[in-house]
Each structure stands twice: as C-alpha cells, then as structure tokens.
C-alpha cells in the first residue's frame, strides 16, 4: 500500500486543476493581481502561502477538538498571524530587498480567503495528515496560477525572467528587439493580471466542459 491513498492523492491533485482555488473557487484574486508583475515575487508568495497553509491546517486540525466554536475565527487568525510573522522575518533575514517589495502583501496573507476557507471547510473536520495534504494541494494550486501569470507578465512586460534578459537588450537592440519587438508595458499593470487569469480560466474550461456553469 502506498503512502497516499486515492482520496489523499485527490487532496493534492484536485486543486491543481478541476478545483483550483483561483480559477474555480475564485479566491485569492487580490494577490494574483498585485504581485505577479515579477516572476520572483510570484514564486516567493507561492512558497509563503504553501508554508502558512500547510502548517496552519495541521495546527488547526490538532486544536479542532479544543477550540470553542464561538472564538474559532479568532483562533484561526492568531495561528495565521503567527505563521505570517515567521515568513516575514525569514524574508527580511534572507531576501531583504524582496521583503520590502512584498511587505504589505505578505501581511495580507492573514486575510487570504483560501487560508481561512481551508481552515473552516477542512482542517476543523479532519485529521492532521489529511489537513496537511489539503493545505499543500490548495497552496500548490494557488501558487501554480501565480507563477503562470508572473511568467507571462514579466516576460511580455519587461522581456526578462527572474530579472535576467531573455529576449535581448531593449537599449542595445539585440535579440528580438533587433527585429522591432517592443515590451508591452500594459502587462505590468494590475488589470492585465486579471486578463491573464481570465485566459487561463477560458483554457481550463475549454479542456473540461464540466467546469462550465449553466
């Protein structure tokens, strides 16, 4: 018998496709719009949410039988806030420049609908192991969309990926710029993130007709 049962595997794979928190559940849209102009920021935010949601789900699951229902939201917020503080301090220690860019948005992880939603919908009713898998799966689904959006926005908006020039030098007119290519500055604006997410949703529903609502 493998480490993961079929049901456990679905906890990880479903949010990556047919139950993605951004494209299907329409949660966590704000950060998808705000921080995806650079691929590096998208990756760091994805890893941060992966840590917070994975560990947070386990903590809430372990505490589920001792949390009074009337204060469960407060307890959940305290757990998320503590984990976000850890993420913020680690970023300041090892990626200070990036932490300044993401400082406000890392703090807003506390109010990320995906995290609070998984606490309420899953961690409060399931054991630590399955809650961990659910957290990892949903965070991975969220992160996958952020990274896809960040990839195209940085590539088409700046001609770079992770800060490296991949299309040539726009000043010296090398690479694609030598044949007249110009960066699309609109890709760096927040509305373009929404358009890219919309294209992903369209592709997803084109491949799986069952996702199309009546």
Query: Of the spans 1-5, 21-25, 30-34, 80-84, which averages the highest pLDDT?
Result: 80-84
Q: What angle do CA 50, 115, 110 make, to 5 degrees?
A: 95
- pLDDT tens, residue by residue, 194-205: 899 999 989 988
- What distance in Å separates the CA atoms of residue 98 and residue 163, rounded to the nearest whole number? 12
Is the per-residue pLDDT at 1 higher than 50?
no
What value does the mean pLDDT of the chain take?
88
- pLDDT tens, residue by residue, 19-65: 888 888 888 787 777 788 889 889 988 999 999 999 999 999 999 99
Task: Please give the C-alpha separations between residue 154 and each of 103, 147, 151, in angstroms, as whole numbers.
Answer: 20, 10, 6
Rounded to 10°, the helix 113-121/128-158 angle is 160
Task: Please give the C-alpha separations between residue 111 and each of 63, 104, 121, 212, in angstroms, as whole numbers.
Answer: 20, 12, 16, 28
């Amino acid at each position: 018998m493998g480490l993961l049962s079929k049901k456990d595997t679905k906890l990880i794979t479903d949010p990556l496709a047919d139950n993605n928190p951004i494209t299907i559940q329409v949660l966590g849209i704000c950060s998808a719009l705000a921080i995806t102009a650079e691929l590096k920021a998208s990756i760091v935010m994805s890893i941060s949410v992966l840590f917070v949601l994975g560990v947070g789900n386990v903590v809430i699951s372990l505490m589920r039988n001792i949390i009074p229902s009337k204060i469960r939201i407060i307890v959940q917020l305290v757990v998320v806030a503590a984990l976000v503080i850890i993420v913020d301090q680690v970023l300041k220690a090892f990626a200070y420049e990036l932490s300044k860019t993401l400082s406000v948005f890392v703090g807003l992880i506390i109010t990320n609908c995906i995290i609070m939603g998984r606490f309420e919908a899953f961690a409060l009713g399931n054991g630590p192991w399955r809650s961990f898998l659910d957290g990892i799966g949903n965070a991975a689904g969220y992160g996958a969309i952020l990274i896809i959006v960040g990839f195209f926005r940085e590539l088409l908006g700046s001609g770079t990926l992770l800060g490296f020039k991949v299309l040539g030098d726009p000043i010296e007119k090398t690479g694609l710029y030598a044949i007249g290519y110009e960066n699309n500055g609109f890709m760096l604006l927040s509305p373009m993130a929404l358009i890219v997410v919309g294209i992903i949703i369209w592709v997803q529903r084109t491949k799986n007709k069952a996702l199309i609502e009546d």
